[in-house]
Amino acid sequence: MSTKLVNIKKHQKELSACRRCSDMIQPVITCAEIVSPIMLVGQAPGIHEGRVGKPFGWTAGKTLFKWFSALGLDEEEFRQSVYMAAVCRCFPGKNPKGSGDRLPNREEIINCKYWLEQEYKILQPKLIIPVGKLAIAQYLSVNKLADVVGQQFVIDSPELQIDCIPLPHPSGLSTWFHTQPGKTLLGDALQLIAAHPAWKEVCRSREKYIKKSGDAR
């Protein structure tokens, strides 16, 4: 087992036991224990993810995985190839003042950033895919989605030097990616991901893994 994998397993064990935020609803949602050159960063789990026990385990995930299936990795392959993190790893609860889920507050985002930073250190990823405005805002200054989706950026901060390709949130409540310019910009963003060396690397590794499993039968 590689050192990175040993460290990510240890990291996830510690993360699963985190109780830093008193208003967050457990459990902590973690992804598969894998090493990947790509990190996908969502906002926070929804009400169903706790029961399903994995990120993007409900309706928004169905749309998200449809996007990536078109690039060559189905849901299971994606979960085994791309490290799925989030700005916050616990369910924030329902928005008391309206529809949808409560947005994590500043303190919760800072608390959970600790875990993201550990993952940057362990994985040393080459590409980050923030999904949705809150996640994108952790890496880029964003006013409108249309200003950033469909483009590739370089993040050069003290804790992270990496390429960044933002995606819109695949929520069923969002119409952004069904209408213009969102539809075209989403397509552009997916093409940028498909062309990125880190995506090609995970696809090649997946092909090798499938071939090896087939040979072993």
Q: Which residues bind ligand SF4 (CB under 6 A)?
A: 18-21, 24, 28, 88-90, 108, 111-112
Residue 16 CB, nearest distance to ligand SF4 (Å)? 8
Q: Which residue has the tokens 């996640």?
A: 135
Contact 127, 162 (CB under 8 A): yes
**What is the CA 112 to chain-centroid distance, rounded?**
14
Residue 82 CB, nearest distance to ligand SF4 (Å)? 20
The secondary element (H helix, E strand) that includes residue 73 is: none
Q: Which is nearer to ligand SF4, 89 or 196 (CB)?
A: 89
Q: Which is nearer to ligand SF4, 24 or 145 (CB)?
A: 24
Q: Which is nearer to ligand SF4, 8 or 21 (CB)?
A: 21
Q: Which is nearer to ligand SF4, 112 or 185 (CB)?
A: 112
Question: In angstroms, how far apart are the furthest CA atoms of the chain?
Answer: 56
- C-alpha 6/C-alpha 9 separation (Å) is 5
Q: Which is nearer to ligand SF4, 19 or 178 (CB)?
A: 19
Residue 203 CB, nearest distance to ligand SF4 (Å)? 30
Contact 19, 87 (CB under 8 A): no
Contact 163, 139 (CB under 8 A): no
Residue 180 CB, nearest distance to ligand SF4 (Å)? 35
| Residue 15 tokens, joined | 């993360």
Of the CA atoms within 13 Å of residue 29, those in its CB half-sphere come to: 30
Q: Which is nearer to ligand SF4, 21 or 162 (CB)?
A: 21
Type of residue numbered 48:
H
Residue 147 CB, nearest distance to ligand SF4 (Å)? 28
83-86 vs 161-164, strand pairing mode: unpaired
Residue 51 CB, nearest distance to ligand SF4 (Å)? 17
**Strand order of the sheet with strand 153-156?**
83-86, 38-42, 127-130, 161-164, 153-156
